[in-house]
Structure 1
Amino acid sequence: MVNQKTFKQLLADPILMAFGIAGFSIGVLVFTGIKQRFSPDQWATWVQAVGSMSAIWISLALVQHQIRHQQQMEQARDARNDYRIASFAESVIREAIDAIKDTERAQEAWPDGGAGYVFHEKSRLQAAQIMTRTLAAEPLFAELIKPVIDMHALLVSVESASEQLVGNGPFQGDSRFKHFWTQKNEQLNAIAATTESAIGLARRSLSAD
C-alpha cells in the first residue's frame, strides 16, 4: 500500500517523477559500471550521457509543473469569480421573488369589487428587472443563465398583468386570477430551485479549490 501510494505521488508530480527517473538511471549506471568494470573513459562518457538526459527530464518536468500551477491558479480564479457572480445572483433573485410575492399579497388583499387598486409594487418590479438585466450582462456560468432569463421574463409578465388590474378593475373573483398566480408561482418555484442548485455548485467549486 505504501509503495502504491509513493508511486501515485511520483506520477502526479512531474518534478518528483523526473528526479525518480534520474535517480533510477544513476543507480542503473553505477550497478552496470561496477559489474562491467567500466574504464575511466567509459565512466566519463556514461556519466555525461545520464547527466544530460537527467537535466532534460528535470527541465521538462519544471515546465510541466509551471503549466499545471498556472492552470490551477486560473481554475481557482474562475471558481472565485463564479462564486462572486453566484452571490450577486442569489441577492438579485431573492429580491425579485420578494417583489413578486408582495405584489401577489397586495392583490389578494384588495377587496373584490373595490375600486382604485394602486399598483404600489411597480417600482420594485421594475428595479428587479434592471437588476436581472445587469446580472445577465455578467459572465454567467451555464447553470445560471436560464433562471436569470426566466426571472426577468416573469417580472415583466407580473408587471404587465398588474397594469391590467389598474385599467380593467379587479379580477380576483374569477378563475383568471387564480390561474395566473398558480402558474406564476410554479415558475417562481422552478426558478428558485434552479438558482439554488447553481449557487450550490459554485460554492462547492470554490471549496474544492
Structure 2
Amino acid sequence: MSEPNYPRHVAIIMDGNGRWAKKRGMPRAFGHRQGGEAVRKTVQAAEDLGLECLTLYAFSSENWKREEGEISDLMNLMRRFIEANLKDMIQRKVRLKIIGDYKAFAPDIVEKLEDALERTKDGTRTLAVALNYGAQAEIARAARLAAEEGTIDPDSIARHLYTADLPPLDLLIRTSGEVRLSNFLLWQSAYAEMLFMDVLWPDFSEDHLREACETFATRERRFGGR
C-alpha cells in the first residue's frame, strides 16, 4: 500500500539516454539499453512504493524522424524488453496497457505486445506504455469519436482518451533537466503536479521516484480553486 499522500498515478517522460551515452563516449544505442534497465527498476520501484499506475513515454509519434539505425535499435530493445520481462510482470500481477497507435510497428512487435496485453490483463497494478503516441493526435481522435456519438464536451472527450480506464494523472516527471511536455498527456496533465529532475534517465533510481512522491505529498493541490 502506498503512503497516504503519495500519488496513485505517476507518468514519466524518460529523457536523457543519448546524453548519458555521449558523456561516456558511447553510441546512443548504449544509452537506450541502459535506459531499458532503468525502466525495469522503475517498474519494480513503483510496486514497492505502492503506486497504482505508472505511465512511461517510450516512443513518440515524432520519434520516427530519428535516424533509421536508432529507430532499429529502439525496436530491438522493445522486443527484448517484452521477452525478458513478461513472465515477471505476470507473476507480479502488473497489467500492461499501451497508449498510442502501436499497430504501426512491425508485425512481430505488434504480436508480442498483444500477447503481453492478453496475458497480463488480470493484473492489479498498471504499467501504461506510450508507443507511437502524441497527445495532440490523441485529443483529436477522442474529439472525433465523441462527435460520432453526437456530443463534444470535456466529459465525452475524456471517455475516448487512451487513458480513460486509468486513475487521473497525479504527478508528471521529466528527467534530464529539460522543462517541457513534448506532446505527452496534454489533456491528462491539466491539474497534475509536475516535477522536472536533473537526473538523466539511465541514472533514475527508486530513490528518485521516492523523492518525487515525497515532493508530491507536500504540495497542496487546488484544481483551480484558491
Q: TM tier, shorter chain?
A: under 0.3
Whose helix proportion is higher, 1 or 2? Answer: 1
Query: Scaled by the length of structure 2, what TM-score is found?
Result: 0.21
The higher-RCO structure (CA 8 Å, 6+ apart) is 2
Using the size of structure 1 for normalisation, the TM-score is: 0.22
